[in-house]
Amino acid sequence: MKHFFLSLILLSALLFNAQEKRPENWFNLDPTTDKINGVGTERTYQELLKDKKSKTVIVGVIDSGVDYMHEDLKGVMWTNPKEIAGNGIDDDNNGYIDDIHGWNFIGGKDGKNVDGENLEMTRLIRKMKPKFDGKVESDFKSKEDKQDYKLYQELLADYSKTKDKFEGGYNQLKFLYEGLNTLNKNAKDQLKLEIIDAAALQKFEPVEKTDKQLKMIGSAMMKSGQGTNLDELALEMKEGYDQYKTYVECGLNMDFDPRPIIGDDYNNPNDRNYGNPDCKGPNSFHGTHVAGIIAASRKNGLGMDGVANDVQIMAIRCVPAGDERDKDVASSIRYAVDNGATIINMSFGKKYSWDKKVVDDAVKYAESKGVLLMHAAGNDHTNIDEVTHYPCKKFEDKGEATNFMDIGALSWKAGVKIVAPFSNYGKKTVDVFAPGVDIYSTVPEGEYKDASGTSMATPVACGVAAVLKSYYPSLTPQQIKKILIKSSLKTYKKEKVLMPGSKDEMVKFEKLGKNGGIVSLYEAVKMAEKFTKSKT
Average pLDDT by consecutive 10-residue portion of the chain (536 residues)?
Answer: 41 46 94 95 97 97 98 98 95 96 97 97 98 96 96 97 94 93 96 96 94 94 89 89 93 97 95 97 97 96 96 98 97 98 98 97 98 97 97 95 98 93 97 97 96 97 98 98 97 94 95 95 97 80
Q: What is the rounded (10 degree) CA torsion for 472, 478, 480, 482?
A: -130
Residue 197: helix, strand or coil by DSSP? strand
Rounded to 5°, the CA angle 459-371-94 comes to 105
Give the pLDDT of residue 13.
41
Residue 19: the pLDDT is 53
The per-residue pLDDT for 224 is 85
pLDDT score for 20? 72
C-alpha to C-alpha distance for 334 and 362, rounded to whole angstroms: 6
> What confidence score (pLDDT) does residue 18 get?
44
What is the pTM for the complete model shown?
A: 0.93
What is residue 108's DSSP assignment?
Answer: -
Looking at residue 536, its pLDDT comes to 63
Looking at residue 4, its pLDDT comes to 37
CB proximity list for 86: less than 8 A, separation 6 or greater: 98
The predicted structure's pLDDT at residue 1: 57
Write down the pLDDT at residue 161.
96
In angstroms, the CA 151 to CA 128 distance is 10
Asked if 262 and 274 count as a contact pair (C-beta separation under 8 A), the reply is yes
What's at 150, amino acid-wise? K
Q: Is 247 helix (H, G, I), strand (E, B) or coil?
A: helix
CB atoms within 10 A of CB 315: 30
Residue type present at position 2: K
Please report which helix (H) or strand (E) contains residue 146, including its range: helix 143-191
Q: Which residues contact 103 (CB under 8 A, 6 or more apart)?
A: 96, 275, 276, 277, 279, 316, 317, 332, 335
Spatial contact of 424 and 381, defined as CB atoms under 8 Å apart: yes
Classify 457 as helix, strand or coil.
Answer: helix
Q: In this predicted structure, what is the pLDDT of residue 515?
A: 85
Helix, strand, coil tally for the chain in percent (to 5): 40, 15, 45
* Residue 399 CA neighbour count, 13 Å, CB half: 11
Residue 303 near residue 296, CB atoms below 8 Å: yes
> What is the per-residue DSSP string for 368-434?
HTT-EEEEE--SS--BTTTS--BS-SB-SSS-B-SSEEEEEEE-S--GGG-B-TT--B-TTT--EEE
Give the model's pLDDT for residue 153.
97
User: Could you tell me the domains of the chain?
Assistant: 22-117+265-535 (3.40.50.200), 120-251 (no CATH)
DSSP H/E element including 482: helix 477-486
Query: Which pLDDT value is given to residue 3?
Result: 40
Say if CB 101 and CB 314 are below 8 A apart.
yes
